[in-house]
Amino acid sequence: MTDLTVRTLEASTKKIPKNTVAVLRGKLRGTVALPGEDGYDAARTIWNAMVDRRPALVARCLDAADVINAVKLARDEKLLVAVRSGGHNIAGNAVCDGGLLIDLSLMKSVRVDPASGTARVEPGATLADFDKEAQAFGLATPLGINSTTGVAGLTLGGGFGWTTRKFGLTVDNLISADVVTADAKLVRVSEKEHQDLFWALRGGGGNFGIVTSFEFKLHPLGPEVLSGLIVHPLEKAGELLPEFRRIANEAPDELTIWAVMRKAPPLPFLPTEWHGKEVLIFAACYSGDMEEGQKAVKPLRALGSPIADVISPHQFTDWQAAFDPLLTPGARNYWKSHDFTDFPNAAIKVILDAVRSLPSPECEVFIAHVGGAMARVDANATAWANRDAHFIMNAHTRWRDKAQDSACIAWARQLFEATAPFASGSVYVNFMPEDENERVEKAYGANYWRLAEIKRRYDPDNFFRMNQNIRQT
């Protein structure tokens, strides 16, 4: 093997002697993969097919010691580093071109302690891994809506999903974490240890270190939850969405309703004549008693004349994976997102105009419903600042053909601009594409400067920079 050319933190390149790679190989319980070797492509391939980057080498870690050794090498050689867990982030920062990729996707252990109602989760675990294990004990913690998403990136950005209104954000349920810092030390963070770092990790993304283990609080839930879809023709959305807003505003914490606008997928319960036509879908989940749930969803079910209504008890793990077929890896994706405290009729009109001209059949706009328990935590209690957001819009463009890149991206940007006057100005950091780094300050609002100060103390060289980067004070 010849010397390896690797990209450095200064954005230049340098040669690493072949012996250095051999030494790293010898130290890891996991493996080191170079281009063309086993595991290299698996590690560098992520959910968003727009991202096709080729690191110089990949450390496929199996434990915290592997991560420490990889960080030590990167520090000594001043290498550019990317950190990958589930590989789902839209921005693609999980992979770098030319640098060292620290791949955690093989660290997938989930250990539930039913007696204390807690779980220890490694960073490579997906939401499906976590949910399946926790549900074996009738337990859950709030996660997202697509089961192949990584627990790690989701948690570090904040994390919300079907049970957030009842149990809070994912970070509100984080008890502690093991973190490898930029000086290659393993520290445990919690309300009692390294409180500042614990505060920053709960929403601050991958800016502060590499988490090798998360400890979560769990809540009794399931095994079944009342959940499902109600599908309406898009033409009725102008009258139905203000009603959705009213019902969502009055909903108990247990009830979460998302509105999705897109072309109808070929769902088995939809008459075939609707396949491929524009529809409004209400996706609802009640995280509590089944009978109470039936009462709570009644006003939603009473709206209009739906094409289909398939709300019924579902296994929670199945409901958590209900959207997976629409969100498979391998497509090209670009997102634009806004937070809303209210969702005025004028915003609804702009969105509906845009949905009538979707640039590809897989594009959609969804309005996530948050609030409840999430809103009752102080905005400065964790790094995740946007506690007053009640609706989160995501313009999710998705297509297959590279030739459609500019049309799809332009459509999302146009919708983003047109809805901006009605939005609150903040944004969920995990929904930001790569070209939005200038929005990071807005994502953290009043918490940004505290984050910048913690960044200065824990990562003065900005060693962890492949992320929605927080600049030091």
Ligand X SMILES: Cc1cc2nc3c(=O)[nH]c(=O)nc-3n(C[C@H](O)[C@H](O)[C@H](O)COP(=O)(O)OP(=O)(O)OC[C@H]3O[C@@H](n4cnc5c(N)ncnc54)[C@H](O)[C@@H]3O)c2cc1C
We find the least distance from the C-beta atom of residue 3 to ligand X, in angstroms, to be 28
Nearer to ligand X, 104 or 415 (CB): 104
We find the least distance from the C-beta atom of residue 235 to ligand X, in angstroms, to be 28
We find the least distance from the C-beta atom of residue 329 to ligand X, in angstroms, to be 9
Nearer to ligand X, 214 or 274 (CB): 214
Nearer to ligand X, 39 or 233 (CB): 39
Nearer to ligand X, 253 or 364 (CB): 364
We find the least distance from the C-beta atom of residue 25 to ligand X, in angstroms, to be 22
The burial class, CB within 10 Å (0-12 / 13-18 / 19+), for 312 is exposed
Nearer to ligand X, 180 or 308 (CB): 180
Nearer to ligand X, 159 or 445 (CB): 159
Which tokens belong to 379? Answer: 């905005």
Nearer to ligand X, 270 or 327 (CB): 327
| Residue at 446: amino acid letter | A
| Residue at 7: amino acid letter | R
Q: What sign has the CA pseudo-torsion 176, 178, 182, 185?
A: positive
We find the least distance from the C-beta atom of residue 378 to ligand X, in angstroms, to be 20
Nearer to ligand X, 187 or 303 (CB): 187
In three-state form (DSSP H/G/I as H, E/B as E, the rest C), the secondary structure along the chain is CCCEEEEECCCCEEEECHHHHHHHHHHCCCEEECCCCCCHHHHHCCCCCCCCCCCCEEEECCCHHHHHHHHHHHHHHCECEEEECCCCCCCCCCCCCCCEEEECCCCCCEEEECCCCEEEECCCCEHHHHHHHHHCCCEECCCCCCCCCEHHHHHHHCCCCCCHHHHCCCHHHEEEEEEECCCCCEEEEECCCCHHHHHHHCCCHHHCCEEEEEEEECEECCCEEEEEEEEEEHHHHHHHHHHHHHHHHHCCCCEEEEEEEEECCCCCCCCHHHCCCEEEEEEEEECCCHHHHHHHHHHHHCCCCCCEECCEEEEHHHHHCCCHHHCCCCCEEEEEEEEECCCCHHHHHHHHHHHCCCCCCCCEEEEEECCHHHHHCCCCCCCCCCCCCCEEEEEEEEECCHHHHHHHHHHHHHHHHHHHHHCCCCCCHHHCCHHHHHHHHHHHHHHHHHHHHHHHHHCCCCCCCCCCCCCCC
Per CB under 6 A, residues contacting ligand X are: 46-47, 83-90, 93-94, 104, 123, 144-146, 149-150, 152-154, 156-157, 159-161, 205-206, 210-211, 327, 430, 466-467
Nearer to ligand X, 180 or 300 (CB): 180
Nearer to ligand X, 161 or 168 (CB): 161
We find the least distance from the C-beta atom of residue 191 to ligand X, in angstroms, to be 20
We find the least distance from the C-beta atom of residue 281 to ligand X, in angstroms, to be 15
We find the least distance from the C-beta atom of residue 66 to ligand X, in angstroms, to be 12
We find the least distance from the C-beta atom of residue 311 to ligand X, in angstroms, to be 19
We find the least distance from the C-beta atom of residue 47 to ligand X, in angstroms, to be 5
